[in-house]
Amino acid sequence: MMGDRIGRATPLKISLLMAAMPTALIGFLPTYHDVGFWAPMLLLTLRLIQGFAMGAEVPVNACYIFEASPDHYKNILCSVIMVGSILGKLLASFIVFLIFRLFDYPSILEWAWRIPFLFSILLTIGIGAIRSTIDNLPMPRNLDSSNFTTQTLKTDFFKGFVLVSFFCVTGYILLVWMPSYLTHFLNYPPHLVRINNIFFLISLAGFTLLSGYSARFVGVQRLIKLGVIAIIIFIYPLFIGLREASFVSLFIISMLLALLHGSIQGVIMQALAMQFPYSKRCRAVSLVYTLPMVLLGGTAPLVNTWVIKETGLFMFPAFCIVFFGLLALPAVWKLHGD
């Protein structure tokens, strides 16, 4: 709401502070041994503030980049938004790796666990210096087109919701839950899974950028169509391949999964921004992006784990992705855009 009413710059600066300050404060929290019940309550409070801030971070960022970018760079710059989250996961994984390499387990439990949170202070200073230079863009002359009626907005919101539902279910299964799936259900060695996950994230970052760059020539809408269709067709065979994959085959399959998901991830934020008029864009993109993420994406690992444990159906993740892909297909065909 702030982004639509007073401009994109102020919410971006506030969201950074609301995400960064709790992160740093977690590094200074007293332990349960020191203050008892207050320790988890303080942690929960800080995490809720982080979540509130992060709910605005990606959507408002996407709206700002979409509106600020020159036309010939818009595709690639919108894809950078999604690459940033991937690089953040890689950096976080690397820091945790270093912590476990440099300290023994008792030291980590005692005090070294605080280091990653305190490290965020340096990141905040750097990012804050960059973000402080952001100014609101001049408002476009025609804030709303006559084509955007209330019914049109509802229809566009529904199309975006269905598309993001497919995107986030696929993303949570492939990015968040896949290491657990490979380790606990397919019995891959944990060290191999960790290496494969890093390889997958690096590949995904590359294919996300490639998707954003390609959209300049192929078109955002056409690229999303191709991505959804390709995932529906190939996700089941690729999951079959995971059942008895060798070391090399696992990496090849992971690279293909990164290609499929990256083809949509590179253009999804631009596609969502294109669906709504300027005066309602921040609210609409924020809701259409975060609601499916919470309701469907965040619960996908739990649902898939429960179904496999109860039924033994190891291919259920592929069926789940195909199901949401088929739901998204009609909506994708009616997206606004090139």
Domains of the chain: 2-73+105-131 (no CATH), 150-332 (1.20.1250.20)
140: pLDDT strictly greater than 80: no
Confidence band of 186 (pLDDT split at 50, 70, 90): very high
Confidence band of 249 (pLDDT split at 50, 70, 90): very high
Following CA atoms 53, 55, 56, 61 in sequence, which dihedral angle do they give, to the nearest 10 degrees? Answer: 110
The average pLDDT across 38-54 equals 92
Q: What confidence score (pLDDT) does residue 10 get?
A: 86
How much of the chain exceeds pLDDT 90, in percent? Answer: 62
How much of the chain exceeds pLDDT 70, in percent? Answer: 96
pTM for this prediction = 0.87
Confidence band of 322 (pLDDT split at 50, 70, 90): very high
Burial grade of 140 (CB within 10 A; 0-12, 13-18, 19 or more): exposed
Q: What confidence score (pLDDT) does residue 97 get?
A: 84
Q: What confidence score (pLDDT) does residue 95 get?
A: 87
Can you state the angle between helices 300-311 and 316-332, rounded to 10 degrees? 140
- What is the rounded CA–CA span in Å between residue 6 and residue 36? 43
Confidence band of 142 (pLDDT split at 50, 70, 90): low
Length of the chain: 338
Higher pLDDT, 331 or 140: 331
Confidence band of 206 (pLDDT split at 50, 70, 90): very high
The average pLDDT across 269-298 equals 92
- What is the rounded CA–CA span in Å between residue 206 and residue 198? 13
Q: What confidence score (pLDDT) does residue 153 get?
A: 83
